[in-house]
Structure 1
Amino acid sequence: MNSLRTIALIAGLTLAAALGGAEAAPRDPQGALGANFNEHLDMLRFDELELGRTKWVRGFYPMPLADKQPPQDNPGIRNLLQAEDRGYGTVLNMKFPFQKRAFPKPGTPAMAREMQRVTKLLDAVMGRVDILVIGNEPFIESRPADRNENLNAFYEYIAKQVIAFRRDKCGADCSTQLYLGALNRLQSPRHQTPATDRWVRYAASEPDIKGVDIHPHVASIKDSQPFVDYVLQRLRPDQRFLVTEFSLVHHWKKHLTDAAPAGFLAKYDMPPNLEVWQVIGAAIKSPFPQKKWNDFLASSRWYESRKNYICNQMALFRATKRLAVATHGYIQGPEAAKNWSPDKTPWLLNSVFATQTVRNWPDGTPGRGYAWIDDFRRCANP
């Protein structure tokens, strides 16, 4: 399944040399930092990856999409596999949306349909992507009433089928590693439940599973420590963890209704007494020049004081010596700017590239997220 990679390696070349991509990512990552595209893998551009100096790419695939189009024809999957062929390391989460319905039971037609979707995706990516994560955010992408043994039973059934497929179709030396993912909100004791405990302990019980994924979207770095402690206390010593999403989004949200910096408003002849969310709204309506966006955030103490967040957060993860890959939000997706209001979660303040709030540069590349591009480059490779 990795014939192109194998040919390049036999020839003494990396795929990056053969195809003009990045220097090939290590196949067994140790503390890498990559670019997270979530559902927007179709928006992946290789010139932007090169600007960030990363070797890893991550996104997720909503499983119902397999009903409408073969996964190998999905633009996002095509981009991810092209990244693999260019020498990038690749991470793909399988997203099972069950917010409005119960998990199906084994032996039912509904479960058979789920397995058809899973098989279609595995046929397309097993042996091609480096890391396949079984699940995306199961304790969010489910009904509250099902966040118990029902959730565990469903994901354990799917995991066993994925493990069996990997063994039967990809072989003992299959290059795709399996993880279970991902856990959210572990900074709150009420979200540390019997179901989350069983989740990690199940991963520890399966020799074919390399570890688990966590998503610490927090208000401060210290709130990410419980995530790391929780999973490492339950995993096998040989297992590691992924962090395919992380951010300070809850810190940003607390400041959306702050007064915007007066000096900034005066400098750019904007109305006085605007709040932060209104300045961001103006940038969404008519994207700012890079300098104006930078000046706005640099003069906002709540943001400027956190401008080294990515490297500081990566230092905490890497200190464990158990981090495989972490990936940080790379672009502002269109939905992050849609229906903007002071109550909207400000995901767009996380992104390395500010595609919705900053004008493109003269070379055609998107505007940068203030501070993040430099911090991301500094920490992209351990």
Structure 2
Amino acid sequence: MSDLDSVQASLHPAVRTLLAFAGSGYHTVLSLKFPYQKRPLPQPGTGPMVAELARIDRVLDAVLDKVGILVIDNEPFLETRDLDRAALLNPFYQAVTAHVIAERTKRYGSDCRTHLYLGALNRLHDPAWRTPAVDGWLDHVRNSPEIDGVDIHPHVASIEQAKTFTDYVLPRIRPDQRFLATEFSLVHWWKQHWCDPVPAGYADRYHVPATTPTWQEVRDAAAHPVPRQQWHDLLMNSPWFTSHQDYLTTQVQQFRATGRLTVPTYGSVQGPAMTRDIGPKKTPWLLNSLYANRTARPSPDGRMAHNPAFYDDFRTLQDSPNGP
């Protein structure tokens, strides 16, 4: 949201791209991101709150009745200072939600095509993150008839951990409310094996020292992309990776089994931040992506390399949106 101090909302790259897709008939989800990790959250009735609501109005001018779903925030409990979560977070988001609802009603009555969700909750597999503030946030969702549901981000180490998100959230909102999963991954499982040595067969084939940690080989590939077969061999000869190659299908099936999933969205490309400063403590987000656009070379005809485990399953899931 702070980007809107320097660029018109409709010209913001993310908004402009999403509106182009919406105009072409695609279903779209836009999340509003409020970065307050280093400054206090504004409170209702203050100058900073007035300024934030003005930014929101500029977004609403551009996207209401155009995007399918507007998520009010990205990750509030991660993008807020620790000392603000207990007392300041809920008043801020309640004020923002009330403002968005009022503006949608004023502009479109009950006929607006844009649905509203609150999002997104993180780390609910950890009991320390199931706090009174989180429960208060979910109470607000449940008591707001204009809100269609919540967003969750289960970045976890196992399918079982992901299930704790829906087990915790769904009983705390209304039965008619649903959930999004606009981010989800096994990134913390990858992180547990980030320092494992590369597979022995890979080391022999590509003349890499057998003691080379996986993160180092990935770092080198990010600096100098490798042939797509080499990237495939690195991952598909690693038991910790291949043992979870059905993850995407299994996770989406788990979401759908609740009967209350609206849409899951999965990370598509490797971004610049994912390949910056790769080392043993780096969270390996780039192993999630459907495309290996920064670690593997494109094909001669320019097509990006795929994630060797998830890409085909992703395509199959697209063909069966109402499947199990």
Q: TM-score range by the shorter chain?
A: over 0.9
For the residues of structure 2 that align with 1:217 and 1:320, how far apart are their CA atoms? Answer: 19
For the residues of structure 2 that align with 1:88 and 1:359, how far apart are their CA atoms? Answer: 29
Residue correspondences, number:
320
1:77 aligns with 2:18: no
Greater per-residue strand proportion: 1
Q: Which residue of 2 aligns with 1:257?
A: 195
Q: Which residue of 1 aligns with 2:177?
A: 239
1:342 aligns with 2:305: no
Q: Which residue of 2 aligns with 1:117?
A: 55
Q: Which residue of 1 aligns with 2:98?
A: 160
My pick for the range that moved more, 107-116 or 157-166, is 107-116
Which of these residues, 217, 228, 236, is aligned with residue 279 of structure 1? Answer: 217
Cα offset for 1:269?
A: 2.0
User: Where does 1:3-152 land on structure 2 (aligned, <5 Å)?
Assistant: 63-152=1-90
1:201 aligns with 2:139: yes
Cα offset for 1:344?
A: 0.3
Deviating 4+ runs (over 3 angstroms): none
Cα offset for 1:272?
A: 3.1
Letter matched to residue 246 of structure 2: N
For normalisation by structure 2, the TM-score amounts to 0.97
For the residues of structure 2 that align with 1:169 and 1:360, how far apart are their CA atoms? Answer: 46
Q: Per-residue CA shift, 1:270-297, capped at 9, x if unaligned?
A: 2332111111112111111111111111
Q: Which residue of 2 aligns with 1:56?
A: none
Structure 2 SS opposite 1:336 = helix
Cα offset for 1:190?
A: 1.1
Letter matched to residue 122 of structure 1: L
Cα offset for 1:181?
A: 0.4
1:294 aligns with 2:213: no
Structure 2 SS opposite 1:153 = helix
Cα offset for 1:356?
A: 1.0
CA RMSD, Structure 1 to Structure 2 (Å)? 0.9
Q: Which runs of 5+ in 1 are unaligned?
A: 1-62
Structure 1 SS opposite 2:300 = coil
Which of these residues, 91, 112, 117, is aligned with residue 174 of structure 1? Answer: 112
Cα offset for 1:372?
A: 1.4
For the residues of structure 1 that align with 2:135 and 2:250, how far apart are their CA atoms? Answer: 28
Letter matched to residue 98 of structure 2: K
User: Where does 1:305-324 land on structure 2 (aligned, <5 Å)?
Assistant: 305-324=243-262
1:185 aligns with 2:127: no
2:197–2:210 Cα contact (<8 Å) kept: no
User: Where does 1:324-335 land on structure 2 (aligned, <5 Å)?
Assistant: 324-335=262-273
Structure 2 SS opposite 1:92 = strand
Cα offset for 1:298?
A: 0.6
Q: Which residue of 1 aligns with 2:205?
A: 267
For the residues of structure 2 that align with 1:184 and 1:233, how far apart are their CA atoms? Answer: 17
Which of these residues, 141, 153, 159, is aligned with residue 215 of structure 1? Answer: 153
Identity %: 48
For the residues of structure 1 that align with 2:176 and 2:222, how far apart are their CA atoms? Answer: 46
Cα offset for 1:189?
A: 1.0
